[in-house]
Amino acid sequence: MTIANKIDQILIKVEKPARYIGGELNSVIKTPGKDEGQFETRFVFAFPDLYEIGMSYLGLQIIYNLLNQEQGIFCERLFAPAQDMEALMREHQIPLFTLETKTAVTQADILGFTLQYELSFTNIVNMLDLSGIPIKSQDRGETDPFVAAGGPCAFNPEPLAPIIDFFMIGDGEELLLEVCRIHLEWKRSGEKRLSFLQTISQIKGVYVPQFYEIKYHEDGSIRDVLKTFDKAPDRIQKRIVSDLETAVFPEFNIVPFIDVVHNRATVEIFRGCIRGCRFCQAGMIYRPVRERSKNKIKELAQSQLKNTGYDELSILSLSTSDYSEIEPLVSELMGVCHTNDVSLSLPSLRLDSFSVKVLEDIQGYKKTGLTFAPEAGTQRLRNVINKSITDENIYYAVEQAISLGWQQIKLYFMVGLPTETDDDLDGIVEIARKITDLFYKSKGNRGKFNITVSISNFVPKAHTPFQWFPQCEISEFKRKHYYLKDKLKMMKNITFNYHGTDASYLEALFARGDRKVCDTLIKAWEIGCKFDGWREHLKYEKWLEAIALTGLSADAYIYGNRNYDTILPWDIIDSGVSKEFLIRESKRSIAELQTPNCNAECQDCGILAMHNCHVKQVKLNEQI
């Protein structure tokens, strides 16, 4: 009986069988062979979470379209099965399979995981086990698929280094296509597995962990990194797509049969960020800023809407309001939306560059809620994190939104930031109170109004100025959460949400960890941990058991202070932002000094050495 037949027999027993059937509008199927339209290299794009999460990820659509346009290469999709499906697969001995052809993953050439968040790591281990692929790289043979990984968490690849055969660092479009083309030639050559890894290790952006040996001090810190293959680079420079205008972007997005998290057409308007928030990894690793033209964005939006039938359009970037032509772009996209009878969704807006014109354009059609991210409750702490907005910016922007009819506002803050005090927490409460007062003053105490205050926990991330700071302890996180909860519950029309502390502890372990963390990861999976990013599935006590069983000094990774001269696990990766710049920014944070954004004044962050930045290089006038 074929895998497809076995799957058909169990789908009636699972929730949301459409997660596993494939065949959606705009999906692609190729057949093996050497003729045009067929393939020899099979790449499987693996998202280590449920279908609804993975199908909302724009990077999947980009890579899927890119590779399937290439002769000789076939890209299929793979998601983590839900627990009901996994149980039936194990019971009926069905290996993990691809959506497009219901083929066992062991028949793939390259299995590529995207690393979007650290708490998906146990799912990677589980998916390899379900596939029948050895979990550790050292145990794979000549006939096993290569296991690859990329995405933001690959900027600290070390916790997964014993599992992943090679990492792809930075923008994936050009890099992955180059790797697949080399694989195509290697496969035809009949050479050994090691030969392929040696060849791609010399491509800019590729990190092969087995070519590096880590030496430790007695205290567990890293003493040295030694190469075991002479031609491997000393450091791995990230790949950068120079021109978004000509870069491949999907116009025939796959349209799911079921609701997914972001069920809409999406166009990336620019990549990178000028702001330099010191807690934000994305703002550092995605530098420099590269924009798509307004006309190109409109063209892509119209094409996606035509080819998908979506009733909502979203534009995507790290800081939407910083797009150079944001007002005319939104105005013209609203025209596109009117014509197609769809709504326009904007991501979180910056309060200091908030455009009343943008609000007016949106409120003229199907209004959605507004989301702002002040991040910190006081100006002092916003100076520390380099968030360049003021209280006046916040209240002015919200006042304009209220005057145009908005009644639902979301505010995002972070707790546990370096130097944070209770005064900063009180600032969060004060912002919520003043916004409520603004609404009822404007409306004469009439109408319904709701503010959602969402709190996330600060996790120090690699390649940021805060990478040397420890994370707040769990007990202190909980105290801060209840402190805010007690104060906010006294106010009407406030909804308060906060992130789980246990999850933040584990996130920090992998964000700051090295190769020694990998055995703990595998042990946690062995004793039942998976879907750790889902609150209802996280088994924190099992994680503590795994940490104890493997003898890992987890607290040292999470709470330990690190000196500026310490060798960090991720120092092997060159993000383009120099350590000198990060140290300077770290010191400026302690001094509560803000740094101008890239458009105002180049900060000499180091990206110029890797890529032609769009800003003239000027040194900081004030140095510490």
Name the residue ranges covered by the structural domains of the chain.
Answer: 3-230, 265-516+552-559, 517-551
Query: For residue 477, which of 420, 392, 539, 393 has the smallest C-alpha distance?
Result: 420
Sheet strands (E) in 22-154: 39-47, 72-79, 110-114, 146-150
What pLDDT is recorded for position 616?
A: 43
- Cis peptide bond prior to 288, omega within 30° of 0: yes
Parallel, antiparallel or unpaired: strands 270-271 and 290-291:
antiparallel
Q: How many CB atoms lie within 10 A of CB 528?
A: 12
What 3-state DSSP class applies to 1? coil
Tens digits of residue pLDDT in 75-105: 999 999 999 999 999 999 999 999 999 999 9
Q: Is the pLDDT of residue 118 over 50?
A: yes
Tell me the CATH class for 3-230.
Answer: alpha beta
Query: For residue 343, which of 368, 307, 360, 306 has the smallest C-alpha distance?
Result: 368
Tens digits of residue pLDDT in 8-43: 999 999 999 999 999 999 999 998 876 666 789 999
Q: Give me the mean pLDDT over the 602-619 stretch.
A: 69
Beta-bridged to residue 606, according to DSSP, are none
Residues in CB range of 509: below 8 A, 6 or more apart:
118, 159, 517, 554, 557, 558
Parallel, antiparallel or unpaired: strands 212-216 and 206-207:
unpaired
- What is the C-alpha to C-alpha distance for residues 118 and 400, in angstroms, rounded to an integer? 38
- What is the C-alpha to C-alpha distance for residues 167 and 149, in angstroms, rounded to an integer? 5
Q: Give me the mean pLDDT over the 337-361 stretch.
A: 72
What pLDDT is recorded for position 440?
A: 84
Confidence band, pLDDT 50/70/90 cuts, at residue 406: confident
Q: Give me the mean pLDDT over the 169-195 stretch.
A: 96
What pLDDT is recorded for position 480?
A: 97
What 3-state DSSP class applies to 600? coil
Confidence band, pLDDT 50/70/90 cuts, at residue 617: very low
Look up the CATH number of domain 265-516+552-559.
Answer: 3.80.30.20
Lowest-confidence pick of 223-232, 476-485, 598-607? 598-607
What 3-state DSSP class applies to 356? helix
Q: 339 vs 381, which has greater pLDDT?
A: 381
Structure tokens at 204: 């800019």
Alpha carbon 332 to its chain's center: 29
Q: Give me the mean pLDDT over the 258-274 stretch.
A: 95
Structure tokens at 492: 């009407």
Lowest-confidence pick of 114-123, 392-401, 430-439? 392-401
What pLDDT is recorded for position 369?
A: 63
Query: For residue 269, which of 201, 323, 338, 233 has the smallest C-alpha distance?
Result: 323
Q: Give me the mean pLDDT over the 192-204 stretch.
A: 98
Q: Give me the mean pLDDT over the 203-216 stretch.
A: 97
